[in-house]
Amino acid sequence: MVLLAWQWAAGARFPLHARSNGEGPARPITVLKPVKGCDAQTDACLRSWFTQDGAAPVQILIGVSSVEDPACAVARQLMAEFPGVDAELVLCGEALGANPKVFKLAALEKKARHDILVVSDADVLAPPDLLSQVVRPLERKEVGLVNCFYKMAPAMNLAMRCEAIAINADFWAQVLQSNGLRPMRFALGAVVALRRDVLRRVGGFESVAHCLADDYQLGARIARAGFKIELSPIVVECRSDPMGWGAVWKHQLRWARTIRACQPIPYFLTVLANASLWPLLVLLARPSPESAAFAAACWGARILAALDLKRRYEAGPWQVSHAPAVLLKDLLQFGLWAFAFLGNKVEWRGEALTLGRCGVLRSRPAKSGPVGE
């Protein structure tokens, strides 16, 4: 309950969704967009980058592995629709390293004309003022990287509702909780902004070519080089087609095992913050009216905190109907936590991979998978 209160307070103090005053970005920006495949959300997500506010020049580089990738048609259509936008579709070829996304980023960076780089996942829907806001901290020389929180799109079923609780209610507040102990030393991968000289100082994108959590490792290298990692109050949205329980489980298990590989001791201790599990164990161990009242009070506090944090994060209304998903998510989270220590196998874009220490990939994808870069 103390950890829950701390997490709730950390979320309440952070200036989420706050905007800086002033004009757009002072320096030109190159956006690097590695993509693979196409789904119903691809057009809207890419379009949001073609309609950004701000007066500074923006170059958009969209990287694909093959001209046969269906994302090419969407990119060409948008470039025809917005002829005034400096955008290019770049054929990067087949990946030579274990991480095809990083391979594309390295190829795109060579064609970048500007010193400020913004890296974005393909499934990110950006607010219109994202670029004008996220690059501002880079004007300070001590800042080496700026990253954004990301939220899941509105849940379409119970499985996605549980995942939305994990991301939109818990993940961001837990990151802030961690930042209360020490400065941020990693990056969140949905949107990352950095200066080109900082990237080259840490070895470029090639330095994380064999890491599954390339964003985390890139941020860690920049922090070790003596630069600050800033967290923008801007929240972007990650959109995907509906996922069932199997897809959500594989998605969450990949995240869990990746985090465990990168931070084994902190990840092990996260089970202490499971605010639904421990009251249940107390109730099962010593059933009584007192323990039942204690468990009910704990669960009530947990639900209230989760729904409030989710409301703040999504900038939307209270969703009381999501209360049962909070407790269900916590129980499933314990299963994920346990399974994270029972193996090193993950599924990434339809491929079975093996994780080594610090999230290094021991094998590379052998064939194309579904959308997800």
CA angle, 70 as apex, 191 and 58 as ends, to 5°? Answer: 40
Q: Is the dihedral of CA 329, 335, 340, 341 positive or negative?
A: positive
* Lowest mean per-residue pLDDT among 93-107, 179-193, 279-293, 323-337: 93-107
**Model pLDDT, residue 145:** 97
Give the mean pLDDT of 75-90: 96
Which tokens in the block code for residue 145? Answer: 């990287």
The CATH number of whichever domain residue 196 belongs to comes to 3.90.550.10
| Three-class secondary structure of residue 254 per DSSP | helix
**Model pLDDT, residue 124:** 96
Asked, for residue 346, whether it belongs to a domain, the answer is no
What is the average pLDDT value for the chain, to the nearest integer?
Answer: 91
Element (H, E) at 224: helix 214-224
Asked, for residue 255, whether it belongs to a domain, the answer is yes
Asked, for residue 10, whether it belongs to a domain, the answer is no
Q: How many CA atoms lie within 13 A of 191 on its CB side?
A: 29
User: Is pLDDT at 80 greater than 90 in this prediction?
Assistant: yes
**Model pLDDT, residue 55:** 73
Q: How many residues does the chain have?
A: 373
DSSP 225: T
**Model pLDDT, residue 23:** 59
Which tokens in the block code for residue 164? Answer: 């939305």
Strand partners, 86: 59
Domain with 117 in it: 26-261
**Model pLDDT, residue 22:** 65
**Model pLDDT, residue 302:** 97
Q: Match 């390293």 to its residue by tokens.
A: 97
CA angle, 53 as apex, 51 and 59 as ends, to 5°? Answer: 65
Asked, for residue 292, whether it belongs to a domain, the answer is no
Q: In the structure, what pLDDT confidence band is assigned to residue 371 with cuts at 50, 70 and 90? A: very low
Asked, for residue 295, whether it belongs to a domain, the answer is no
Residues of the chain with pLDDT > 70: what percent? 94
Phi and psi (nearest 5°) for 116?
-95, 125
DSSP per-residue string spanning 67-82: TT-THHHHHHHHHHH-
**Model pLDDT, residue 363:** 54
Q: Which residue has the higher pLDDT, 343 or 349?
A: 343
User: Is pLDDT at 366 greater than 60 in this prediction?
Assistant: no
- Strand 124-125 versus strand 228-238 pairing type: antiparallel
Phi and psi (nearest 5°) for 250?
-65, -40
Helix axes 245-262, 323-340, angle to 10 degrees: 50
User: Is pLDDT at 349 greater than 80 in this prediction?
Assistant: no
**Model pLDDT, residue 300:** 97
Specify the amino acid at residue 1.
M
Asked, for residue 1, whether it belongs to a domain, the answer is no
The CA distance from 3 to 126, in Å, is 32
Query: Over the stretch 293-324, which tens digit does the pLDDT of each residue have?
Result: 999 999 999 999 999 999 999 999 999 999 99
- Give the Cβ contact number of residue 272 at 10 Å: 11
Q: Assess contact for 206 and 106: CB atoms under 8 A.
A: yes
Asked, for residue 116, whether it belongs to a domain, the answer is yes
Asked, for residue 367, whether it belongs to a domain, the answer is no
**Model pLDDT, residue 355:** 84
Q: Assess contact for 360 and 351: CB atoms under 8 A.
A: no
Query: Over the stretch 97-127, which tens digit does the pLDDT of each residue have?
Result: 678 899 999 999 999 999 999 999 999 999 9
Structural domain count of the chain: 1
